[in-house]
Structure 1
Amino acid sequence: MTPRKNPDKKKIICIGTSTGGPRALQVVLSQLPKELDATIVIVQHMPPKFTKSLADRLNTICDIEVKEAEDGESLKEGTAYIAPGGRHMTIVQTGGRAKVKILDSPTVNGHRPSVDVLFNSIHNLSNFDKIAVIMTGMGADGAAGLVELKKESSVYAIAESKETCIVYGMPNAAIATNQVDSIAKLDDIAETILKYIR
């Protein structure tokens, strides 16, 4: 059953990925239109400094803006924010606006940034329709956060299919929670997102 979406709500797309993620992000983000009526927040498991060069490279080839997230900045539609390598990214709501909060708290599932940490913070946002996407990567980061997210009705979850994953660990763990609404090949993920938010 497709979760309910509300035309009056803002939209936020939350993506988690690890091994093989930079290429997967390029495929998905480059298919999204400049006028995207949603904000994108991304955790890509990477050490410090590498995420900025990844964001800068993606920004040159995508119609949407792609940047490394900065502590305290307000989220804008049509922009993708990549968590800084080696630091957790959370999204907090203050005065009706969603803002980035960067944390140096301990690793979660051996990761910092962690998809679970991002997803758990997204769960607390009100007045947002949420799309959660788990793509290629080793381990199970994101699965527990997805369970938390899906405790409400306005969350649509997508997992990358085994056929196109470099490593099927993270999508497989997400699918095992029985909380995934759609399993899509990498080339079809952007279209699946757009179908839901339009």
Structure 2
Amino acid sequence: MMTVRVLIVDDSATMRSLIAATLRQDPEIEVLGFANDPLEAREAIKKLNPDVITLDVEMPRMNGLEFLEKIMRLRPTPVVMVSTLTQAGADTTLAALELGAVDCVGKPSGGATAAEAFADLAQKVKSAARSNVRPFAGPVKPHEGHADYKANDCILAIGSSTGGVEALMTILSAFPRNCPPTVITQHMPAAFTKSFAARLDRVSDAHVEEASDGARLAPGRVYLAPGGETHLEVASKTAPMCRLKHSDTVNGHRPSVDVLFESVAALGRPAVGVILTGMGRDGAKGLLAMRQGGARTLGQDEASCVVYGMPKAALEIGAVETQAPLPRLAAAMLNLCAATEPQRSV
């Protein structure tokens, strides 16, 4: 049994104690020590060489993002961000995920207990320890998309989880203005998805927004599932639109990638399904349903995944037609969409 050694960095003694108490309940995790701010953390990292760092986003003496960038440039280490679930906290956490943080968890708020807020913290820390952390290569910038893409009525459905912020930023930055009608489920807290959609919109020639119930799918439109309360589905074969469905979690998630993929498979329309980096198996079953229904399917390859869980699970059950590295995925998606047979009227 591998023991994951963790350094907790937070300027609140109370929060440090809550995080430590949560992590110590897992026999596979050892809390190595604590740091009050990035300067203390720098010395602790040198001395303790932790497997994973939990990092507060707002700390004294050095900006948390500045410290994270230094970690990722000089000594890449898996980092799980611990954020306040406010608009400012969401924006900062998303910036941290772009810099290379593996995952994030919200601090207790709105009457939630530490046990509720940190219910999946231990699992995220263990997953981070197994993640593929790479040196920070600079912020994602919009670049010339595939100007020769010819739009048709093919629906593009994408699912992602841990590492998905980097992957989706990279992919959508290469999307053309007339990209396929696109729906995305990314596992993310409710407080973050609207901000994330806005960040994606800024780097893409396509229009990206948080999905709303009844929003029509059309070329050049990308819809990101809201976090927390609903699943995103695609409804109506003749005039596809977003449907937000209030129901139980699926595979421990709401929104669930399986729910999105299965709804697209049920339409019987030309479609492409893509499963990206993430922990667990969510999306594998739904992607298989899409492939069995005639859709083309893609998976992110292991080398470019932060966590090769979801793509691996989908590949193992025959849901993935082919794999591609992250830098080539946008072109691969667009090529498959362009090659699909147009919908014939009946």
* TM-score (norm. length: structure 1): 0.91
Cα contact 2:272–2:333 (8 A) shared by 1:
yes
**Structure 1 residues 26, 8: CA separation in 2 closer, same or farther (over 3 Å shift)?**
closer
The one of 190, 193, 196 equivalent to 1:54 is 196
Alignment partner, residue 168 of structure 1: 308
Q: Considering fraction of residues, name the structure with more helix.
A: 2
Amino acid of the structure 1 residue aligned with 2:197: A
1:120-167: CA deviation from partner (whole Å, max 9, x where unpaired): 1111213x21111000000000001112112222x1110000001000
Asked if 1:113 is matched to 2:241, the reply is no
Alignment partner, residue 25 of structure 1: 168
The one of 276, 295, 299 equivalent to 1:159 is 299
Alignment of 1:1-198 (within 5 A): 10-36=153-179, 38-86=180-228, 87-93=230-236, 96-126=238-268, 128-153=269-294, 155-198=295-338
**Structure 1 residues 177, 73: CA separation in 2 closer, same or farther (over 3 Å shift)?**
same
Distance, in Å, in 1 between the alignment partners of 2:189 and 2:282 is 16
Amino acid of the structure 1 residue aligned with 2:284: A
Percent identity among equivalent residues?
42
- Residue 9 of structure 1: CA displacement? 6.4
State the secondary structure of the residue aligned to 1:32.
coil
Tell me: higher relative CO, structure 1 or 2? Use CA pairs within 8 A at least 6 residues apart: 1
State the secondary structure of the residue aligned to 1:14.
strand
Amino acid of the structure 1 residue aligned with 2:170: V
State the secondary structure of the residue aligned to 1:150.
helix
Cα contact 2:231–2:245 (8 A) shared by 1:
yes
State the secondary structure of the residue aligned to 1:113.
coil
Q: Which structure has the greater CA radius of gyration?
A: 2
- Residue 84 of structure 1: CA displacement? 0.3
Cα contact 2:285–2:319 (8 A) shared by 1:
no
Distance, in Å, in 2 between the alignment partners of 1:118 and 1:61 is 24
Distance, in Å, in 2 between the alignment partners of 1:109 and 1:164 is 24
Distance, in Å, in 1 between the alignment partners of 2:337 and 2:185 is 21
State the secondary structure of the residue aligned to 2:233.
strand
Distance, in Å, in 1 between the alignment partners of 2:261 and 2:327 is 23
1:9-49: CA deviation from partner (whole Å, max 9, x where unpaired): 6111100000010110000111111122x201000001112
State the secondary structure of the residue aligned to 1:35.
coil
Alignment partner, residue 3 of structure 1: none
State the secondary structure of the residue aligned to 1:124.
helix
1:67-126: CA deviation from partner (whole Å, max 9, x where unpaired): 0000111112111100000120011006x2011110120000000000000011111213
Matched positions, count: 188
State the secondary structure of the residue aligned to 1:71.
coil
Distance, in Å, in 2 between the alignment partners of 1:81 and 1:174 is 23
CA RMSD of aligned residues (A): 1.6
Cα contact 1:9–1:129 (8 A) shared by 2:
no
Distance, in Å, in 2 between the alignment partners of 1:125 and 1:9 is 16
- Residue 8 of structure 1: CA displacement? 11
Amino acid of the structure 2 residue aligned with 1:99: M
Q: Considering fraction of residues, name the structure with more strand.
A: 1
- Residue 179 of structure 1: CA displacement? 2.5
Amino acid of the structure 2 residue aligned with 1:24: A
Runs of 4+ in 1 over 6 A off after TM superposition: none
Which ranges in structure 2 are unaligned for 5 or more consecutive residues?
1-149, 339-346
1:45-73: CA deviation from partner (whole Å, max 9, x where unpaired): 01112100000011011101110000111
